[in-house]
Amino acid sequence: MAKSRFLVGKKINSQPIPKEIRITDLVDNYFQAYNAARLKEATQLFTRKMLDPDVTIGMSLTGALTPAGLGGSCVVPLIKAGFVDWIVSTGANLYHDAHFAIGHSLHKGSPFVDDRVLRKEGVIRIYDILFDYEVLLSTDAFFRHLVAQPEFQKEMGTAEFHHRIGRYIAARERKLGIKNASVLATAYRYAVPVYTSSPGDSSIGMNVAAMSLDGYNLKLDVAEDVNETAAIVLGAKRKGGRSGVLIFGGGSPKNFMLQTEPQIQEVLGINEKGHDFFVQITDARADTGGLSGATPSEAVSWGKVDPSKLPDTVVAYLDSTVAMPIMTSYALANRKPRKPRRLYHSLPELMDSLRKEHKKAQQRSR
């Protein structure tokens, strides 16, 4: 009998996992079905294709990832290896990122403790992570002290805000002898632009708002953020390169990263096709209609993903705290570091190019 064309895939391996197996062998040979297979596909796509020299990689971070230690353990090594070129994060992840760099500690705990008791004892809980209420108060005071500095008394985008904040956090790390703890400090050192899609929706935004009541003049310009992120993607394409997105979670950061292409095409009228690579780790379902679970094929309909590049998209449905360490370890083990793009320093040039292309598009449409 002729063998069905559907039975040409690699045979399922049921051999025992060896002792001391390397992460590469574990992923390549034992992540074989269901979401383990999707995680393997995501990991291999990121490592084997997205990390090519011509791909500009944006990473989005949603969910309480930095409190779980994933900022220092995963995002920092990826930045240092040149594997992340720009970031969109919730403000909460950046706020909790600062705890570690200014000398505070968070602790492993239980999700089943009595929260009424925790409240009485001044303990904060993020599922099974516990820390002292004073950590919040100290971190709030740290951000308010920075926002009061003269250099912050103006309007700026969140990339500039985080770059300036990162300089202070890096200095605090050095003073305390803490190494590689902070995403913002590392992003400052490697000039990786870091954006927050909803600046008011975090303790950082709350402290900025409080300082405005006291007469301080920091204002965060979301319009600048929208245009700068679009300029980063357009710049990657116009230099003959490609654009890839690595999405952990969903929500506002996911949309903010993907809307760069509709901003370029639909709003600014510039001829473009969409991102070239799309990898997402999520626990959100597509059938609820929310953006968090929206698939790459749905993104094609919006112009967010290049239709011809749909095969270079993967969604793995699992917890980011499981996927991120595996993907980070695999990438670091299998690819040499890339030269950092230091896109923060290129933003004026990229914005100038975006304005010129937008102006040309307006002239053509008249």
Catalytic residues: 304
**CA–CA dist 304, 265 (Å, integer):** 9
**CA–CA dist 342, 359 (Å, integer):** 27
Alpha-carbon distances, residue 6 vs 34, 39, 302, 311 (angstroms) = 17, 22, 32, 18
Buried b (16+ CB within 10 A) or exposed e, 233-244: bbbbbeeebbbb
